[in-house]
Amino acid sequence: MTKKLYLETFGCQMNVLDSELVLGQLRAQGYESVEEREEADVVIYNTCSVREHAEQKVWSRLGEMRDWKKTRPGTVIGVIGCMAERDGKDIFRKFPHVDLLCGPGELDKLAGMVHNLVVTGTEARRHEGTKGRQVALMGANMRRSSTLAAAEDHLELLDLSRSISAEDNLAQAYVRITRGCNKFCTYCVVPYTRGPEVHRPPQNIIDEVKRLSDAGALEVTLLGQTINHYAFKHGDGRVTTFAELLYQIHEAVPGLPRLRFVTSFPRDFTNEALMVMRDCQRICRYLHVPAQSGSDRILKAMNRGYTAQEYYDFVGRAREYMPDVSIASDFIVGFPTETQDDFDQTAEMVRRCRFKNSFIFKYSPRPGTVAIERFEDDVPEETKRRWNNELLAVQQEACVRNNREMVGKVVEVMIEGETKLVSKKAYPASAGGVELGWEKRGGENGSDGASPATVVTQLIGRTRGDQVVAIDAPMGMRGRIVDVEITEAKNLTLFGKLVMSAVAG
Ligand code: SAM
Ligand code: SF4
């Protein structure tokens, strides 16, 4: 009988991609994914350890499953990803009903582990009083202790195993180019949970992007923790740089309308890479370059390896090459020893750089990091919260100004989804449509069972610069790239109307 699998993902895009890859492997072994945990024979949580809050959600899920497992001892419960790597022993100790742990560096073996547990462990767990076998695979730090090249990295097999099919109807997809991280920012668990930086062979990456594009993907986002550090050393000593890789993908996959990448590190972003972005039309002019702080003293305590001035210089250089480039950033507020003066410098940076958006986080001390050993978490929670809100407000002012400047422009938007609102107005309004107001959508096809082509809905899409736009357009346009005239900017949201179809979806 087909076994049912429930997989829930927490955290970053890397985790989303890992989940997609392990799901593909388990499906190939005959597992079917289900939306409800209650229906599953195998329940897996793909976890994140970057902040405590993300971990707490998983603790609570595992707690909920304690009683559940008593009534269904045959169910296999697994924890994969960063928490499995970091907290392994603690998870088994606190939650003996968990059967399986697998760190991010061992996910190529997950399908085999799950299958073994299902086949061999179920009987044992059925007998009352028998806990069944617990299995664990972690190894990011072992991976770090050797000099690892992608060719000898077994994890490459996971990415190579990706099943890509036109039936999946995937308009957007992620492709990993680099695993792990070598930066060791003092607050961050990633180098410990994901191991050392390993760059994938360029041809494997190009082939994967090509296969995705052939299967109908319209936007591919390349992933890496410090993506601009990509440098693949070939056997003959040649090195493929990040700029070269970007160019090669762009040229090798002419049918792909949008190529993006995240996340960039503010140092070591070469002019060559900026030139490739400027000159290759289908590479989106969008940079996510976390600054973390605007204070040199805090940047040093974070071990970021650059000063605020060097960050400003990078932003200036990027805008020199591409005046229309859209830049996003991350900031941590309340890092140990941070003063009002340090915070004011961060606020000044957000003001001056006019980011498209900023992801703002309150410092969360993480076990195993240098910061938790070296510093006391001495900024009161109340101050962290206040700085978080103040920085958000500064960023919002920038968003409002950026958005106002967009009004009247025609931009290319990729439709990502539909809001729950529909209008019964016939489309287009210029053809004499009568406005009947907005209402909640009824059936799948639209309000009152009308055809998707005649029901106008509010669609949500993204520009090449990653700005979100709400558009009134016919339903059923998800996954299409269209031209949109921006008609209004209401605080943080842009509104637009459809001009014409730019690319057939
Ligand atoms: N590699 C990316 C970089 O360095 O720019 C970021 C990766 S990290 C998973 C995503 C974001 O989480 C970071 O940019 C940082 O702002 C935030 N972060 C990481 N560790 C944190 C911590 N201990 N407390 C609060 N925020 C944290
Ligand atoms: Fe973490 Fe720093 Fe690496 Fe980003 S660059 S993943 S913040 S250690």
Query: Tell me: the pLDDT tens digits for 235-279?
Result: 999 999 999 999 999 999 999 999 999 999 999 999 999 999 999
Tell me, what's the pLDDT at 131? 52
Tell me, what's the pLDDT at 115? 86
Report the nearest-CA residue for atom 12 of ligand 1.
50
Tell me, what's the pLDDT at 476? 75
Least confident of 48-57, 88-97, 166-175, 447-456: 447-456
Q: Report whether pLDDT(436) > 60.
A: no
Tell me, what's the pLDDT at 164? 84
Query: Average pLDDT for residues 123-152, to the nearest whole number?
Result: 58
Any long-range contacts for 356-359 (C-beta under 8 Å, 24+ apart)? 356/286, 356/326, 356/327, 356/328, 356/399, 356/402, 356/465, 356/466, 356/467, 357/328, 357/395, 357/399, 358/328, 358/329, 358/330, 358/331, 358/391, 358/392, 358/395, 359/290, 359/328, 359/329, 359/330, 359/331
Task: Provide the pLDDT confidence category of residue 479 given band limits of 50, 70 and 90.
Answer: confident
Q: Report whether pLDDT(420) > 80.
A: no
28-85: per-residue pLDDT in tens?
Answer: 889 999 999 989 999 999 999 999 999 999 999 999 998 888 888 889 999 999 999 9
Residues facing residue 100 across a β-bridge = 78, 135
Residues facing residue 46 across a β-bridge = 9, 80
For residue 194, which atom of ligand 2 is closest to its CA? 6
Q: Which ligand is nearest to the CA of 264?
A: 1
Q: Which ligand is nearest to the CA of 180?
A: 2
Instruction: State what percent of residues in the chain have pLDDT above 70.
Output: 86
Task: Provide the pLDDT confidence category of residue 89 given band limits of 50, 70 and 90.
Answer: confident
Tell me, what's the pLDDT at 95? 93
Tell me, what's the pLDDT at 449? 43
Tell me, what's the pLDDT at 298? 98
Q: Report whether pLDDT(443) > 70.
A: no
Task: Provide the pLDDT confidence category of residue 158 given band limits of 50, 70 and 90.
Answer: confident
Q: Report whether pLDDT(152) > 70.
A: no
Query: Average pLDDT for residues 167-178, to the nearest whole number?
Result: 89
Query: Average pLDDT for residues 465-473, to the nearest whole number?
Result: 91
Tell me, what's the pLDDT at 143? 56
Query: Average pLDDT for residues 94-106, to the nearest whole number?
Result: 92
**What is the Å distance from ligand 2's center to 186 Cα?**
9
Tell me, what's the pLDDT at 136? 78
Pocket of ligand 2 (CB under 6 A): 181, 183-185, 188, 190-191, 225-226
Q: Report whether pLDDT(438) > 50.
A: no
* Most informative mutation of 48, 188, 189 for ligand 2 (most atoms within 8 A of CB): 188
Q: Is the CB of 290 under 6 A from ligand 1?
A: yes
Tell me, what's the pLDDT at 445? 38
Assess contact for 114 and 76: CB atoms under 8 A.
yes
Q: Report whether pLDDT(428) > 50.
A: no
Report the nearest-CA residue for atom 18 of ligand 1.
50
281-297: per-residue pLDDT in tens?
Answer: 999 999 999 999 999 99
For residue 263, which atom of ligand 2 is closest to its CA? 4
Query: Average pLDDT for residues 467-486, to the nearest whole number?
Result: 88
Tell me, what's the pLDDT at 505? 45
Q: Tell me which DSSP letter residue 276 carries.
A: H
* Sheet order of strands, 286-288 included: 286-288, 326-333, 357-362
Give Cβ neighbours of residue 291 (< 8 Å, ≥ 6 apart).
Answer: 266, 308, 311, 329, 330, 331, 349, 353
Q: Length of the chain in residues, anyone?
A: 505
Nearest-angstrom CA–CA distance, 73 and 191? 36
Q: Is the CB of 12 under 6 A from ligand 1?
A: yes
For residue 225, which atom of ligand 2 is closest to its CA? 6
Q: Report whether pLDDT(87) > 90.
A: no
**What is the Å distance from ligand 1's center to 97 Cα?**
31
Task: Provide the pLDDT confidence category of residue 470 given band limits of 50, 70 and 90.
Answer: very high
Assess contact for 156 and 150: CB atoms under 8 A.
yes
Q: Report whether pLDDT(149) > 80.
A: no
Task: Provide the pLDDT confidence category of residue 448 given band limits of 50, 70 and 90.
Answer: very low
Report the nearest-CA residue for atom 7 of ligand 1.
225
320 phi, psi to nearest 5 deg: -65, -45
Tell me, what's the pLDDT at 450? 46
Q: Is the CB of 50 under 6 A from ligand 1?
A: yes
Assess contact for 234 and 203: CB atoms under 8 A.
no
The secondary structure element, H or E, covering residue 457 is: strand 456-463
Q: What's the mean per-residue pLDDT of the chain?
A: 87
Task: Provide the pLDDT confidence category of residue 501 given band limits of 50, 70 and 90.
Answer: low
Least confident of 254-268, 294-308, 411-425, 436-450: 436-450
Q: Report whether pLDDT(199) > 80.
A: yes
For residue 359, which atom of ligand 1 is closest to its CA? 16
